[in-house]
């Protein structure tokens, strides 16, 4: 089973700060890590490879330093890494990113499965995975929390819902996005780290991919960020004390005041 895992390098979750003047992420001095949700995608792909054979190919779109994210995935047990990087792709929103990644995946070639994390911890959109499946015209199953059964032709999956889960069967090739309940990502081995250090990372630029210039980068991105802000924390509520009938009356009058 050949599995492609799409990952993103993000600023370490707890350290994200936003520049209040420019509304952009302040990345200076902040450590970059693999998006935590993508770690589950990498782990699940490696587990499937261990069961079925084949290989795990990691793809990321980003600046040259995203090379480190690919090597980290290889140290866990992935086989190959592709860095989709070109100035022409800069400024991509989720639409342009999924279009570009779909193009890169076509270029990489034959695959049975694509796995993504459910969303990135910096943007939180959860759009790129589904976007890739749409561009590639393959089925998608989002929020997968368990692979129930898998063959080289189809998969039976548990998909997490807000209350409970549903079981979905899909033919392959397909795209899954996974949630943290699916597994516990492994710690790399020393042999894996050595392999990752010497692994060849293939860089794919616009020259290799030859994508529609109107659909990539800033120009291919219909999203416009109007404003980024941190919601003000909710202030503590008011606790009413006394006899129930009195409290009920008081509550009704408070609600009325609020509405008016």
Residue numbers of the site for other proteins (CB under 8 A)?
186-191, 193-194, 197
CB of 190 vs other proteins, minimal distance in Å: 4
DSSP state of 257: H
Question: From the CB of 197, what's the least distance to other proteins, in Å?
Answer: 8
Closer to other proteins by CB, 161 or 194: give it: 194
Backbone conformation region of residue 105, classed left if phi is above 0, alpha if psi is from -120 to 50, else beta: alpha
Q: Rounded to the nearest whole angstrom, what is the least distance from the CB of residue 69 to other proteins in the complex?
A: 16
Peptide bond into 36 cis (omega under 30): no
Non-local (6+) Cβ contacts of 131 within 8 A are 94, 95, 97, 98, 99, 102
Quick one: 87 or 197, whose CB is closer to other proteins? 197
Nearest CB to other proteins, comparing residues 23 and 189: 189
CB of 85 within 8 A of CB of 66?
A: yes
CA 57 – CA 194 distance, rounded (Å): 18
CB of 92 to other proteins, least distance (A): 32
Give the C-alpha separation, 58 to 145, whole Å: 20
Nearer to other proteins, 190 or 226 (CB): 190
């Amino acid at each position: 089973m050949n599995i492609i895992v799409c990952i993103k390098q993000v600023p370490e979750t707890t350290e994200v700060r936003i520049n209040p003047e420019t509304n952009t992420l302040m990345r200076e001095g902040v450590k970059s890590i693999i998006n935590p949700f993508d770690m589950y995608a990498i782990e699940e792909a490696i587990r499937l490879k261990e069961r079925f054979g084949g290989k795990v190919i990691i793809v990321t779109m980003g600046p040259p330093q995203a090379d480190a994210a690919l090597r980290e995935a290889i140290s866990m047990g992935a086989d190959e890494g592709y860095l989709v990087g070109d100035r022409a792709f800069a400024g991509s929103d989720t639409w342009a990113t999924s279009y570009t990644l779909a193009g890169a995946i076509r270029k990489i070639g034959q695959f049975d499965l694509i796995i993504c994390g459910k969303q990135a911890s910096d943007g939180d959109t959860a759009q790129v995975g589904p976007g890739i499946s749409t561009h590639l015209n393959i089925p998608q199953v989002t929020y997968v929390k368990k692979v129930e059964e898998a063959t080289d032709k189809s998969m039976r999956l548990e998909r997490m819902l807000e209350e409970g889960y549903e079981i979905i069967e899909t033919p392959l090739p397909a795209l899954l996005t996974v949630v943290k309940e699916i597994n516990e990502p492994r710690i790399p081995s020393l042999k894996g780290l050595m392999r990752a250090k010497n692994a060849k990372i293939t860089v794919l630029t616009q020259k290799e991919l030859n994508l529609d210039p109107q659909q990539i980068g800033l120009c291919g991105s219909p999203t416009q960020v109007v404003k980024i802000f941190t919601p003000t924390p909710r202030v503590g509520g008011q606790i009413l004390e006394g006899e129930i009938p009195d409290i009920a009356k008081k509550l009704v009058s408070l609600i009325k005041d609020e509405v008016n």
